[in-house]
Chain A
């Protein structure tokens, strides 16, 4: 079955270390997204990519970096510059450009804890 795979489900890191969260999709979707969830707040957009080798900052991109070398993969690196990295991270993808919300699929998320 097609879908989005995020791994790992739980991740622990020491403060000051960079960490990379994986997101893979086999839906042939062009667009991929990373969102962050904090307690009491709605999910917020970190980065998005509408096509391979191109990505754009979302609303809260500071302290994060991404790459989109393959259509299937959109890894997110949480750098040491991110002041509050502990959060739930959600990856999503969507169907070809112009089709809006149709075919929008969510991953199951990664909970990152920095100690």
Chain B
């Protein structure tokens, strides 16, 4: 049983397309991260959300706590956006570990 589910698993888009990646989770959370992992493995945190919406450049992240759902949007996608995008949630209560649970990632390829 995976506490975090992402969709789609793989996504291919044409440059300039609007992209949406979804994350659903099954536990009450204190926060959610969207991470970006490029080929070669390095991971960068894009957003941390506990409510509402955040925007950074062409990236927008939203979260609906009641529905246990978050989305990551990329506007005017570009080939350099090609990466794996990972959703990570921190349960509200987990015996003090402050441990994240991770989705399996969405592999995005943007074609010129």
Q: Which residues of A are interface residues toward B (Cβ below 8 A)?
A: 9, 31, 33, 35, 40-45, 48, 50, 56, 58, 88, 90, 92, 94, 97, 100-102, 104-109, 111
Cα distance, A41 to B104, chains bound together (Å): 5
Interface contact B103-A42, CB-CB below 8 Å: yes
Closest to B4 in A: A42
Among A44, A101, A111, point to the contact of B33 (Cβ < 8 A).
A101
The residues of A that contact B2 with a CB separation of less than 8 Å are: 42
Q: Which of A40, A45, A105 contacts B99 (CB 8 A)?
A: A45
**Could you jot down 21 A-B contacts, CB within 8 Å?**
A9-B40, A9-B42, A35-B100, A40-B104, A42-B4, A42-B102, A43-B86, A43-B102, A48-B99, A88-B41, A97-B96, A97-B98, A101-B32, A101-B90, A101-B98, A105-B45, A107-B43, A108-B41, A108-B42, A109-B41, A109-B43
Please count the residue pairs between chain A and chain B whose beta carbons lie under 8 angstroms apart in the complex: 76
Residues of B within 8 A of A (CB): 2, 4, 30-33, 35, 40-45, 48, 50, 86, 88, 90, 96-105
Give min CB distance, A113 to chain B, whole Å.
11
Shortest beta-carbon contacts, A-B, top 4 = A101-B31, A42-B102, A108-B42, A101-B90
A48 nearest in chain B by CB position: B97
In chain A, what residue has the closest Cβ to B97?
A48
Beta-carbon contact of B45 and A100 below 8 Å: no
Flag if A100 contacts B42 (CB, 8 Å): no
Write the nearest CB–CB distance from A29 to chain B, whole angstroms: 11
Q: Provided the pairs A31-B98, A108-B42 are in contact, do residues A101 and B105 lie with their beta carbons within 8 angstroms? A: no
CB pair A42 B105 closer than 8 Å = yes
Nearest CB of chain B from residue A39's CB, rounded to whole Å:
9
In the assembled complex, the CB of A27 is this many whole angstroms from the nearest CB of chain B, namely: 13
**A67 to B103 alpha-carbon distance, docked (Å):** 28
